[in-house]
Structure 1
Amino acid sequence: MTSTDTTPTLRLAGPDDIGTVADIVADAFDHLKVIHYLVPDPGRRRTVARDWYRLYITHAIGGAGQVVVTNDATAAAVWFDRTREVREPEGYDKHLAELAGDHLPRFQHLDLQMEAHHPSDPHWHLLFLAVRPDRWSQGLGGRLMDHTHARLDADGIPAYLEATGLQNRALYRRHGYRDMSPSTIAVTDDTVLYRMWRPARNG
């Protein structure tokens, strides 16, 4: 059987996919240091983080960007359109306080750091690129990026993201992203995100 036969197709997610995409992100991100910082309690971590992802996924699908998902629900990319006015998810502060509980100051700190270091030039923001762990290293993340990059390149629109580690940063570099200056966002002394920018390529 050829690889083409086993490679899932991609599609835009809709409202009925919100829960599924939240599960994909929760599975993919459970090991990340930044998520462990946000929710130190391992017993609550997945539930709290999943509810947080869901806020953004709902917002993107609702018109603030787009979500691309594999048809077998193994990988997803959550994008936001920052070529226009930026809006928070509806009722974000209230929902965040409800879901985060005692961990709210940690989420607020991360939000402030990410926004303070966010580029002001018009772009699309890849907030979450998630692949379920049993499908890592099979090219799904790259396919998801290529899908949206093709349209962004055609329209002359750059892209931005915050890589969560050195391995991810290497992947993004292979897909045209470059380190920015300053290159990092220090969430804590030992938890760092890497700011990366992808100029639009001529079609």
Structure 2
Amino acid sequence: MGTGIRAAGEGDRELVVRLLDDAFRDDPVSSWVFPGEEYRRRTHHKLMAAFTDIVLAAGRIDITQDGSACALWLPTPAADPSGEAAGGHADAEGPALVRAAVDPANERIEVIGRLTAEIHPTDRAHDYLWMIAVTPERQGEGLGTALIDAALGRCDRTGLPAYLEASNARSRALYERLGFEPTGTPLDLPDGGPRIWPMWREPLSR
């Protein structure tokens, strides 16, 4: 039996935030943005809430019927002729606004937004897999793969490429199995932070 998947709505907001917080609290990038376990425990969920609100307003959140996994997707237009991205995640004010909402004293919240925007391809419209989360006790059951496969099917039907940033070697290997390839130059976060791999997938012809 396949995994049931639906589009999340406003009523799912707290569930999505909890899934993201549980799945990413110990991720290398989250650990860099929020150094210190106690600080991360108190603050990390606020960043996940900000991301959830952005995608609920401008993108799509896929969630499994049992609420054990979710994926956040943003439709991303190509840059306009001046070379500036047309709104969305690359909005120049976005990282500063997120920092102000989450923890104004933490510069890294803004830095991570600006650095990932700099490596994000802008020459072609695409769907951006911002985050995917599986509740820890259900990881390894193929739920993340099912969520991505469903979205990539939409990309193939509409002829859109897909883009993401892998935050660790394990997730990079998974994405490669799903047809993503490294693109551009990996991002090494400053002050000894982890490496992030930008990855791209062309749509399959039908």
CA–CA separation in structure 2 for the residues paired with 1:137 and 1:98 = 33
2:144 matched residue in structure 1? 141
User: How many angstroms apart in 2 are the aligned matches of 1:118 and 1:92?
Assistant: 14
TM alignment of 1:34-113, pairs within 5 A: 34-62=29-57, 64-83=58-77, 85-87=86-88, 93-94=96-97, 96-103=99-106, 105-113=107-115
Structure 2 counterpart of 1:167, one-letter code: R
- Given residue 61 of structure 1, which amino acid in structure 2 is its aligned partner? L
Q: Which amino acid aligns with 1:29?
A: F
2:127 maps to which residue? 124
**Is the partner of 1:102 in helix, strand or coil?**
coil
Q: Say whether the 8 Å CA contact 2:119–2:184 is kept in structure 1.
A: no
8 Å CA contact retained: 1:48, 1:99 = yes
Superposed structure 1 runs of 4+ greater than 6 Å apart: 89-92
Q: Deviations over 1:36-93 (max 9, x none)?
A: 111113113134221112112112122x110000121111000000036323599873
8 Å CA contact retained: 2:128, 2:164: yes
What is the alpha-carbon root mean square deviation over aligned residues?
1.9
Distance 2:184 2:55 in 1: 27
Please give the TM-score of this superposition, normalised by the length of structure 1: 0.89
Aligned residues: 195
Deviation at 1:98, TM superposition (A): 3.9
Looking at structure 1, the residues matched to 40 and 109 of structure 2 have their Cα atoms a distance apart, in angstroms, of 13
Residue 25 of structure 2 aligns with an amino acid whose one-letter code is D
- Look up the equivalent residue of 1:65 and give its one-letter code: G
2:168 is the alignment partner of 1:165: yes
| Structure 2: distance between partners of 1:16 and 1:158 | 30
Q: TM-score, normalised by structure 2?
A: 0.88
Partners of 1:75 and 1:140 within 8 A in 2? yes
- Contact 1:8/1:72 (8 A) holds in 2: no
Letter in 2 for 1:111: G
Percent identity over the alignment? 28
Give the Cα–Cα distance (whole angstroms) in 2 for the partners of residues 16 and 174 of structure 1: 33
Q: 1:177 aligns with which of 175, 180, 186?
A: 180
Q: Which amino acid aligns with 2:178?
A: H
Task: Describe the SS at the equivalent of 1:137.
Answer: coil
Partner of 2:200: 197
